[in-house]
Amino acid sequence: MLFHLTPLVSARGCDENAPTSFNDQEGLAFFASFVDGSAGIFVATLLPELAGDLDGDGDVDLADLAQLLAHYGMTSGAQYEDGDRDGDGDGDLSDLAALLANYGTACP
């Protein structure tokens, strides 16, 4: 095994105010230790089921395209909901092409 993952907090139990492994941005926080001895805390962003559904309404439509185009040209700091489909922090042609590949698609 190359690494071991451990959720930072596994459950809330009865305390609604207790922290969980999910942050307020719907990210999953976890600790990973690697075979080379390195370790760290990481946050993974959970993506919607339908790639390109930036607003989470179950389809890739004009609203999603408009959202991407509103952030098109950002060179850093772009998030998935801004249209950064490939996770490289910007809004560019590759993000637009990826969204258009699913344009008109809806979840069943």
Same domain, 13 and 34: yes
**Residue 67 contacts residue 81 (beta carbons within 8 Å):** yes
What's the pTM value of the predicted model, to 2 decimals?
Answer: 0.56
Regarding whether 54 and 35 lie in a shared domain, the answer is no
Q: pLDDT tier at 11 (50, 70, 90 boundaries)?
A: very low
CATH number at residue 84: 1.10.1330.10
| 31-53 average pLDDT score | 77
Six token digits for residue 21: 């492994």
Considering 45, 60, 77, which residue would you say is the last residue of a domain? 45
Mean pLDDT of the chain: 77
pLDDT tens digits, one per residue of 52-87: 889 888 899 999 999 999 999 999 999 988 999 888
Co-location of 35 and 65 in the same domain: no
Q: Phi, psi at residue 70, to the nearest 5°?
A: -65, -25
41 and 58 belong to one structural domain: no
In this structure, are 59 and 20 located in the same domain? Answer: no
The pLDDT value given to residue 12 = 41
